[in-house]
Chains A and B, each alone.
Chain A
Amino acid sequence: MNRFWLGDPDSFGLEQIAPRDGIVTSVAGCYARPKGMDKKLMFINDFINDIGGRDRIILLTGQHLIYVSDSCMPCQIIEGRKAPMESHSWLQAIEAKLSSMRNLMKNWNGYGSAPPNKNAFKNADEVIDILHQKGYEAHQVSPSADEGIAISFLKGGRHAFIECYNDGDIAAAVFQKQGEPETWDCGSSASELTETIERIFEYLNGR
């Protein structure tokens, strides 16, 4: 599942430029809009068709992010949310890192590890979405040597990570320089991931 950052849809009918996996893709469009159809929906609908129809899209419109998941019909906007401008660079950096991970080959670390697969990307996307909704930021996102995607956190001397494994499992841990680490398995539902994220940030904040 890829994500694409787009320009302002208010320029509907003009050429749109979208960075696609680091490559600038020009999406020409002067799409016919059926009478009465919202032009924003029409734009998304046509863009999804242009790129194959199954990828997730994040539409950046000023300070609002709108995304369309591949699990819904292309013309349905399933969520709109306020995105503070200062967080865009964090989210974009995460997206770029995730995108680069899609090019990893088997044995990318020389120790035989498989690259992240669709299970890992799906669950990592879910974790990142929840982080964003909560206004939290990760320190790093990287391929896991244990095969999957690792999302790491750091505050002062407190460390944490969530690993989304290729087999669909998710685990988390928190630790400091000294003392016994805490490790636990997470479920993959939104509520279970939210609980894990809250637990991690309570730990990072010393509570």
Chain B
Amino acid sequence: MNISMADNYPVELIMGERVPDQIFSDDEKLYIRFDEILGEFVAPTSLICPNQSANRSTICTNPEWVLLSEVPETPDVFKDWGYGYVKVRDIPTPLTPPSLGALTTEFKPFHVPFLYNYSHTEIRPYRSGADVHKLKSNVRNLFKINLCRRIIILKRPDLPTIA
């Protein structure tokens, strides 16, 4: 990040000497940006699984900051995107798709600070308490659909659509 961007950048988001904090309250909000709406919901296909990124609200005190790019050359690239939040208690978990028998996937927030986004968090999948790095598409889509139905939209994207 260059000096001019740092001048305008929220100091709350700069990691500095701070370390990851894995304690999340059920009420904590996870702010998520997205580029597309489908009907009344965030489009599931604008979400990522596994490891959907978010900004945690105990650090990211202004929801709009989730639209900030950490790339100095293009700080405003996401300014027309939408954003919203899901509370930790509303993360869709556990998921047990019928096609996978009794195999259950849990999803939890994991604090993954970046140098210029200390609030950065990922919603990660676990099975039997262990990280899962790859999920079948039916589990991914089930998670994305259930997540999109629980996201409270604060701002809709202002991007061209074909609809």
List residues of chain A with CB under 8 Å of any chain B CB: 90, 93-94, 96-97, 109-111, 113, 139-142, 144-146, 150, 152, 154, 157, 159, 161, 163, 165, 169, 171, 173, 175, 177, 181, 183-185
Q: A140-B38, A150-B43 are in contact. List 18 more A-B contacts (CB 8 A).
A: A94-B162, A110-B33, A110-B53, A110-B77, A111-B53, A140-B36, A141-B162, A142-B36, A152-B43, A152-B45, A154-B38, A161-B45, A175-B44, A175-B149, A183-B142, A184-B138, A185-B137, A185-B138
Q: A140 is contacted by which of B41, B43, B140 (Cβ under 8 Å)?
A: B43
Beta-carbon nearest neighbor of A177 in chain B: B149
Residues of B within 8 A of A109 (CB): 35, 46
Give A161's nearest chain B residue, CB to CB.
B45
A183, B162: Cβ atoms closer than 8 Å: no
Q: Decide if B141 is an interface residue (CB 8 Å cutoff).
A: yes
Cross-chain contact B137 with A171 (CB below 8 angstroms): yes
Give the contact-size bracket for chain B.
Answer: 35 or more
Give the residue name and chain of the B residue nearest to A151 (CB). B45
Question: B97–A145 contact, CB under 8 A?
Answer: no
- In the docked arrangement, what's the CA distance between A90 and B162, Å? 8
Tell whether, in the assembled complex, residue A145 and residue B38 are in contact, meaning their CB atoms are under 8 Å apart.
Answer: no
A154 with B39: CB separation less than 8 A: yes
A101 CB, min distance to chain B CBs, angstroms: 12
Q: Which of A150, A154, A181, A184 contacts B45 (CB 8 A)?
A: A150
A-B residue pairs in contact (CB < 8 Å), sample of 26: A90-B162, A97-B162, A109-B35, A110-B77, A113-B48, A139-B163, A140-B36, A140-B43, A140-B161, A140-B163, A142-B43, A145-B45, A146-B45, A146-B47, A146-B49, A150-B43, A152-B36, A159-B41, A161-B43, A161-B45, A171-B140, A173-B44, A183-B137, A183-B138, A183-B145, A185-B138
